[in-house]
Amino acid sequence: MTAPELTAPKKPMNRRTVGGAERWSWVFQRISGVILIVLIFTHLFVNLLTGDGVSQIDFAFVAGKWASPLWQWWDFTMLVLAMMHGTNGMRMLVNDYATRPFLRETLHWALRIAMVIIIVLGSLVIWTFDPCPTDASGALLEGVPSFCESVL
């Protein structure tokens, strides 16, 4: 009985696999996953387990939290890292299951565009949030943080 002949390995799908980009993508997934676990569980702990729990989360709570640059940067970091982590994971799935090059590139571009749009919109919410709305309805103003009373 003779051993089967080995065939030459397939050529890489694209030139990104030649320079080790896929390896760095894999490393990024692991590192960003660990960082996201810390960011998300701290976020959940502060929002849900301290104070009155979920019943405390309202406009005033978010306004008070985002009055601090620390929490703005925390949420921004969480947004960007989660979107990059998720997009990279979806890119890996596309590479595994999209066999036609045109379909693969189209899906890669759709992922990139969706990631950029969500990061831009989320960033606008975080960085342009006004904790002291001057023309809001009375129902919204019931929970206005104390630092807004001088503005209103």
Q: pLDDT tens-digit profile of 4-21?
A: 888 877 665 555 565 688
Mean pLDDT of the chain: 85
Contacts of 144 (CB under 8 A, 6+ apart): 59, 60, 63, 132, 152
Q: Stretch 36-51: mean pLDDT, rounded?
A: 90
Pairwise CA distance, residues 145 & 35, whole Å: 31
Closest C-alpha to 123, from 86, 77, 58, 65: 77
The larger pLDDT score, comparing residue 73 to residue 147, is at 73
Among residues of the chain, what percentage have pLDDT more than 70? 80
Pairwise CA distance, residues 104 & 138, whole Å: 51
The larger pLDDT score, comparing residue 80 to residue 138, is at 80
Q: Stretch 109-114: mean pLDDT, rounded?
A: 97
Q: Stretch 56-69: mean pLDDT, rounded?
A: 84
CA distances from 90 to 16, 36, 87, 116, 126 (A): 16, 17, 5, 15, 25
| pLDDT tops 60 at residue 150 | no
**pTM strictly above 0.85:** no
| pLDDT tops 60 at residue 152 | no
Q: Do residues 83 and 115 touch, judged by C-beta distance below 8 A?
A: yes
**CB atoms near residue 66 (< 10 Å):** 19
For helices 69-97 and 59-66, the axis angle rounded to 10 degrees is: 100
Q: Do residues 148 and 63 touch, judged by C-beta distance below 8 A?
A: yes
Residue 86 has which token pair? 């998720």
Q: How confident is the model at residue 143 (pLDDT cuts 50, 70, 90)?
A: low
For helices 69-97 and 101-128, the axis angle rounded to 10 degrees is: 170
Instruction: Find how far residue 63's CA is from the centre of its chain.
Output: 21
Most confidently modeled of 62-71, 125-134, 139-148? 62-71
Pairwise CA distance, residues 91 & 85, whole Å: 10
Among residues of the chain, what percentage have pLDDT more than 90? 52
The larger pLDDT score, comparing residue 145 to residue 26, is at 26
Residue 47's pLDDT is what?
86
